[in-house]
């Protein structure tokens, strides 16, 4: 019975519901007692599925399904991140549409609104991941603001504070004036922009001399407290220790000697504003300079600025200040330059360094164990090149600012009394006990810290908090440490490094043994996808049009280590065609009533083509397994694709036709049973890549009745080699080479593929003669061969070819004009010669061999061999044309 066209929309929904309803994603105890666990990088609760999610989760799902089929007790832990800043911004925007402002509601009512929004819209991303086919244990879905995860966050904060690894300090931080919160260095994007560089004269006190400085932020001169020059800069040695007057501000500031000033940059003299520049802050500390903050938290000029500038936005103040500097002659010139300017990754506004009180983690101390763990190989990066990047960042790590001035998130468990004493505890009751001791039972009031924790603080606990920590749960003991983390390189430092810190500190174990780092998904031209460029490819649109399997297989097959995925719709179309090819192949088997209903005795297989396809399958099974295990997803997909498309569909099914058309009942029966058996095995090795389609065909073919399990729960193929199949495997491989040569020769001569030809031997080739004698029917029907004739009777209209290092002739009817093709083939040979000579010249160049990437050199060598074989073939053809 032939199946109708595969309807991916209908089938994917039906199968997804079936898997979840039957609880097939939950861990099942294994006989081997081996475990495999992985945590999903929790998408933001505000998120919608983008192509980065699609790649990351497709790769994870390959690992999960593969290990589940290998019999390991497998857990894929799902969940979402509360995404403090992003979620608060979304809810604020929604409220503004209703004419409601956050501050009018107050903290408690606003947070209630966020929870309402989360319940309504927060699960969308998880539903989209289900559409992609992610086989997470959805019954264990976690959220970073769940009670048990929040309890873990509070405990970690309190423990780190008590261990003197969390502290409060007044420091210069990255300040987002739009969101009005501190953000970490990792949340700052350095953009290349065009800026104005202003050259400004500062008058030397009691002198007619002036000193020129250059700045891109002239408004900050209202907070200048020194001018620095290099102690070795002879131009300024006589000015060191003297005072300069800040224009318009009229404040006297010292000219100091500091190595920070570079004689080669600008004028060599640098204005120092410790409150508004990270480098200046360090200069200020070294030289004990006054720190004058001129900005409010909203980016407006405060009371420390020039009187008429107070309450002006920083950029309005800049314009007015430049105008006045021009008018009083202090502005010497303006240059247009390209420089890097810091922007907030969430607000897209220019970040200001601002001196504020914040909470910090001593990341330097926490980084020591992770560095040691990675050095010892207890956690390994794939590709290994990321190890170097990891060490470089960890060794230069700065204190981690963990406080955020927003409402949505984990509120910092710290309380203050009227004297501003700090009491850190897991709850207010415990904080009161601490406060009573400090205040010696005198009357006092406690007020909780209003700041919340950086989202990445709670995310850092994800691998163990989701398993029930701090309770000693069976899930924690069973699945922690996790087996592998699959992540994009863009969050190695946001998330991966911090999980390594927290996991090693609180659990004395690395949170994961392996870290696989994948690249970005770009458009087909290699450009980063962005709304402004209009090149964003929506994965949900592709899933609706082509099916989740087509998208998954495309992304997986392009996931080459260290190389970005250049995605195009055509690629997805091509892989949809691959799925259609399997569907057609299965329909061919169904039409020919190919099926089996009991265990197949492989050792009893007699047909040469069955022995050949089985040997090819074992080779593929091993290559797919090996490449998944070493994270070469692209190679695993390639081997599976080549076997199914070429070995099975192009050759094996073609070889079946002469058998089905024969009258040999035992051969027909064996062919029908074994071809169906091979289809079942194809579905098994393809299942981690294209789960919906394979489960659907498995069900339609009623394989569950034979294997007693759904495909998702079936075992991974692990067949062993059968040596007695070797001879027929070689024979069929040689027949394929012979037929391929016949077909390619016809194509070269512009002869229709359907045209039959005669074969004759120019010499006495024992190998080919024996091959033809043993497999004549296959050769005749699949190779379109009429007769095998004696050399003496060969057609005058014939061509010599070399196959398996032996010569034979292809004879054609008189209607085929061979001589008309000679000139064209000679031209092609000339072109081939130029290609071969060019490649050989490159390969004979020692500098090229030493400096070019090994992969490119290997490809060049391979191409030379292929072109040389083609050249020899064409020479043989030309020499035999009269």
Distance (Å, rounded) from C-alpha 261 to C-alpha 275? 18
pLDDT at 841 over 70: yes
Max CA separation in the chain (angstroms): 121
**Residue 317 CA: distances (Å) to CA of 176, 301, 483:** 18, 8, 55
DSSP 190-215: EEEEEEEEEEEEEEETTSS-EEEEEE
- What is the reported pLDDT for 764? 62
Distance (Å, rounded) from C-alpha 389 to C-alpha 122? 34
- The residue with greater pLDDT, 3 or 719, is 719
Of 114-123, 251-260, 842-851, the one with minimum mean pLDDT is 842-851
pLDDT at 34 over 80: yes
- Which parts of 7-73 fold into alpha helices (H)? 8-21, 51-69
H or E, element range at 175: strand 166-176
* DSSP SS3 for 426: coil
pLDDT at 2 over 70: no
Distance (Å, rounded) from C-alpha 431 to C-alpha 161? 13
Residue-wise pLDDT tens digits, 706-744: 999 999 999 999 999 999 999 999 999 999 999 999 998
- The residue with greater pLDDT, 527 or 64, is 64
Q: How confident is the prediction for the chain on average, in pLDDT?
A: 92
End-to-end CA distance of the chain: 53
Q: Which of 283, 282, 314 is nearest to 298 (CA)?
A: 314
Tokens of 609: 């083509």
Distance (Å, rounded) from C-alpha 527 to C-alpha 522? 5
- What is the reported pLDDT for 138? 97
* DSSP SS3 for 153: helix
- The residue with greater pLDDT, 523 or 684, is 684
Res. 556 pLDDT band, cuts 50 70 90 = very high
Distance (Å, rounded) from C-alpha 770 to C-alpha 776? 10
The secondary structure of 333-365, three-state, reads EEEEEEEEEEEECCCCCECEEEEEEEEEECHHH
Res. 763 pLDDT band, cuts 50 70 90 = low
Of 61-75, 136-150, 784-798, the one with minimum mean pLDDT is 784-798
Residues 6+ away with beta carbon under 8 Å from 94:
117
Distance (Å, rounded) from C-alpha 775 to C-alpha 778? 6
- What is the reported pLDDT for 765? 60
Residue-wise pLDDT tens digits, 639-659: 999 999 999 999 999 999 999
Torsion of Cα atoms, 158 then 160 then 161 then 163, to 10°: 120
Residue-wise pLDDT tens digits, 473-507: 999 999 999 999 999 888 788 899 999 999 999 99
DSSP 704-725: HHHHSS-GGGSPPP-PPP-GGG
Tokens of 454: 């950086």
């Amino acid at each position: 019975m032939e199946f109708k066209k595969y309807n991916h929309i209908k089938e994917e929904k039906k199968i997804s519901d079936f898997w979840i309803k039957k609880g097939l994603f939950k861990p099942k105890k294994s006989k081997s007692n081996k475990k495999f666990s992985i945590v999903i990088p929790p998408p933001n609760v505000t998120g919608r599925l983008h192509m980065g999610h699609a790649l990351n989760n497709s790769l994870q799902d390959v690992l999960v399904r593969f290990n589940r089929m290998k019999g390991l007790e497998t857990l894929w832990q799902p969940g979402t991140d509360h995404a403090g800043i992003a979620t608060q911004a979304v809810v604020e925007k929604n409220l503004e549409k209703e004419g409601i402002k956050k501050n009018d509601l107050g903290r408690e009512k606003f947070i209630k609104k966020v929870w309402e929004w989360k319940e309504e819209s927060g699960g969308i991303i998880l539903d989209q991941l289900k559409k992609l086919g992610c086989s997470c244990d959805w019954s264990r879905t976690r959220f970073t603001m769940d009670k048990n995860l929040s309890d873990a966050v509070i405990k970690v904060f309190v423990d780190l504070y008590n261990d003197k690894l969390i502290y409060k300090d007044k420091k210069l931080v990255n300040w987002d004036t739009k969101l009005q919160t501190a953000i970490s260095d990792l949340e700052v994007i350095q953009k290349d922009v065009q800026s104005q560089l202003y050259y400004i004269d500062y008058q030397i006190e009691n002198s007619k001399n002036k000193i020129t400085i250059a700045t891109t932020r002239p408004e900050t001169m209202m907070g200048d407290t020194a001018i620095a020059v290099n102690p070795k800069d002879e131009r300024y040695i006589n000015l060191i220790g003297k005072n300069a007057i800040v224009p318009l501000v009229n404040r006297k500031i010292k000219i100091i000697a500091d190595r920070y000033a570079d004689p080669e940059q600008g004028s060599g003299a640098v204005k120092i504003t410790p409150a508004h520049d990270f480098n200046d802050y360090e200069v200020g500390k070294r030289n004990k300079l006054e720190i004058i903050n001129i900005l409010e938290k909203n980016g407006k000029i405060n009371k420390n600025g020039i009187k008429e500038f107070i309450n002006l936005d920083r950029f309005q103040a800049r314009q007015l200040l430049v105008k006045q500097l021009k008018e009083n002659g202090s502005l010497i010139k303006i240059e247009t330059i390209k420089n890097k300017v810091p922007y907030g990754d969430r607000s897209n506004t220019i970040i200001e360094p601002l001196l504020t009180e914040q909470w910090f983690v001593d990341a330097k101390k926490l980084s020591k164990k992770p560095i040691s763990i990675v050095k010892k190989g207890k956690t390994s990066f794939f590709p290994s090149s990321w190890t170097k990047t990891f060490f470089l960042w960890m060794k230069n790590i700065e204190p981690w600012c963990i406080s955020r001035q927003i409402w949505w998130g984990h509120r910092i468990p710290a309380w203050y009394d009227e004297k501003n004493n700090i009491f850190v505890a897991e709850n207010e009751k415990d904080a009161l006990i601490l406060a009573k001791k400090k205040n010696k039972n005198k009357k006092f009031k406690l007020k909780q810290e209003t700041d919340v924790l950086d989202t990445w603080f709670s995310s850092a606990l994800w691998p163990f908090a989701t398993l029930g920590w701090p309770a000693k749960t069976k899930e924690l003991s069973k699945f922690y440490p996790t087996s592998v983390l699959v992540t994009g390189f863009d969050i190695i430092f946001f998330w991966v490094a911090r999980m390594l810190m927290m996991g090693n500190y609180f659990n004395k174990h690395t949170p994961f043994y392996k870290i696989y780092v994948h690249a970005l998904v770009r458009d087909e031209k290699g450009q980063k996808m962005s709304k402004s460029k209009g090149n964003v490819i929506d994965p949900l649109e592709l899933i609706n049009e082509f099916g989740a399997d087509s998208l998954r297989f495309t992304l997986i097959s392009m996931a080459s280590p260290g190389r970005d995925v250049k995605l195009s719709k055509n690629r997805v179309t091509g892989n949809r065609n691959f799925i259609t090819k399997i569907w057609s192949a299965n329909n061919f088997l169904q039409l020919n009533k190919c099926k089996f209903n009991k265990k197949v005795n492989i050792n009893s297989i007699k047909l040469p083509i069955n022995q050949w396809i089985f040997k090819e399958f074992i080779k593929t099974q091993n290559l797919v397994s090996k490449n998944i295990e070493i994270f070469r997803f692209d190679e695993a997909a390639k081997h599976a694709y080549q076997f199914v498309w070429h070995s099975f569909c192009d050759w094996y099914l073609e070889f079946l036709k002469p058998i089905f058309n024969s009258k040999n009942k035992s051969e027909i029966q064996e062919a029908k049973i074994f071809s169906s058996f091979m289809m079942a095995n194809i579905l098994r090795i393809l299942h981690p890549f294209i789960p919906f389609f394979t489960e659907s065909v498995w069900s339609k073919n009623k394989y569950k009745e034979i294997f007693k399990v759904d495909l998702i729960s079936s075992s991974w193929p692990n067949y062993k080699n059968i040596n007695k199949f070797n001879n027929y495997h070689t024979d069929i491989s040689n027949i394929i080479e012979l037929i391929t040569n016949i077909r390619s020769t016809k194509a070269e001569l512009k002869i229709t593929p359907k045209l039959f030809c005669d074969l004759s031997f120019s010499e006495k080739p024992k190998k080919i003669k024996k091959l033809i004698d043993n497999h004549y029917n296959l050769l005749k029907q699949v190779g379109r061969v009429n007769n095998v004739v004696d050399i003496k009777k060969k057609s005058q209209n014939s061509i010599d070819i070399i196959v398996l290092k032996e010569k034979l002739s292809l004879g054609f009817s008189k209607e085929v004009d061979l001589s008309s093709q000679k000139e064209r083939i000679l031209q092609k040979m000339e072109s081939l010669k130029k290609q071969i000579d060019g490649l050989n010249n490159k390969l004979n160049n020692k500098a090229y061999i030493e400096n070019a990437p090994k992969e490119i050199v290997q490809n060049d060598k391979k191409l030379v061999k292929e072109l040389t074989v083609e050249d020899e073939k064409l020479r043989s053809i030309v020499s035999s044309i009269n």
